[in-house]
Amino acid sequence: MAHETKHAHRKDEHLALAEHFYNAVQRNDFDQLHLIFRNLPELGVQDVSLETTIFDQKIAAPIYINAMTGGSSRTGAINEKLAQIAADLRIPMAVGSESIILSEPESLETFSVVRKVNPTGVIFANIGAGKDLAAAKQVVAAVAANALQVHLNVLQEIVMPEGDRDFHWAEMIREYQHLDVPIIAKEVGFGMSEMTISQLEQLGIRYIDLGGAGGTNFVQIENARRQNHDMAYLAEQGLSTVKSLLESQPFQRDQHLTFFASGGVRQPLDIVKAWHLGAKYVGISRTILHLLLHHTVSETETILTAWLEQLRLLLVAFGVRTPAELPQVEHYFDQELYLFQQQRQS
């Protein structure tokens, strides 16, 4: 899988910088949301189930390894390991942006390896929103994908020195409806507002990954790759995953849209909180990347299997049998989050 070009080098830089800025104890908006435990749950762990389906396939829990990488030799090897974990845990996985295979077909193997390792699991292809329908078909085929993530990453692009400068994306997103796999419109860590969700709905999108702030920060990462004209002042921009989920709530009621939440998930309690706010599936990127860079595949699987057990225990403590019942749990917000909600509802 030897593949080293300037484009491929960027993939290595993203990986290294995501790890460089990783901070396991970084506070984020999940800390502003408090769920209320039950003292008499009248449940045992045997009553609880995480098993569910996605795009008509069974999975062990509504969580997934979110898009990160592929394109270089090093990132191909990481994809191979992530695919092994996804297969063994029976959870979905997304590959990173596959645009590189359009200009550098030799890099294809760094993505297709994921399907080789995990022949029957759920895999999401990934592409930037500006690419045409033929390109989208190609990246779906490369991993025999069950769905295509289309990333909307304006803030990342504007800070990326070699990033896009033209953002006429809507028509292309409408075109993607001609594909024979579902489309998931996805942010990369800056979240989505009610207005964006409404626009996507009007474009025919039914699956949305809110990709909020609170974890991987692509302003920080791309700014570190700039030689000059610092743009770090944008690092605090974007909506957190928690705030994006609040923005999505008016749309959750009509059952028309399915929300995926990702961004800043550090441990099982964050997953439970995202399910509580209405996410059907919760994605994790850098926390799993960090585990994998410091442990073997088998050790990482042991840690994530313990997470699944902790998720079941947390559900018991909150008095619910499935993740889908979590919205019934009572909660309260810290002041800043409360004020956000009041302002946005008025």
Binding residues for ligand FNR (CB under 6 A)? 14-15, 18, 66-69, 96-97, 126, 149, 151, 186, 188-189, 211, 215-216, 262-265, 284-287, 289
Nearer of residues 122 and 284 to ligand FNR, judged by Cβ: 284
What are phi and psi for residue 103, nearest 5 degrees? Answer: -95, -20
H helix or E strand, kind and range, residue 268: helix 268-276
Which residue is nearest to ligand FNR, using beta carbons?
215
Distinct helix (H) and strand (E) counts, the chain: 14, 12
Contact 272, 35 (CB under 8 A): yes
Nearer of residues 239 and 316 to ligand FNR, judged by Cβ: 239
Q: In whole angstroms, how close is the CB of 68 to ligand FNR at the nearest point?
A: 4
Nearer of residues 48 and 85 to ligand FNR, judged by Cβ: 85
Q: In whole angstroms, how close is the CB of 317 to ligand FNR at the nearest point?
A: 24
Q: In whole angstroms, how close is the CB of 254 to ligand FNR at the nearest point?
A: 25
Q: In whole angstroms, how close is the CB of 222 to ligand FNR at the nearest point?
A: 11
Q: In whole angstroms, how close is the CB of 151 to ligand FNR at the nearest point?
A: 3
- Distance between CA atoms of residues 151 and 224, nearest Å: 21
Nearer of residues 74 and 286 to ligand FNR, judged by Cβ: 286
What are phi and psi for residue 149, nearest 5 degrees? Answer: -85, 130
DSSP secondary structure letter of residue 258: E
Nearer of residues 32 and 287 to ligand FNR, judged by Cβ: 287
Which CA distances in Å does 71 have to 11, 12, 94, 148, 155? 7, 9, 14, 17, 22
What are phi and psi for residue 328, nearest 5 degrees? Answer: -70, -20
Nearer of residues 282 and 315 to ligand FNR, judged by Cβ: 282
Q: In whole angstroms, how close is the CB of 125 to ligand FNR at the nearest point?
A: 10
- Candidates 86, 43, 35, 65; CA nearest to 272 is 35
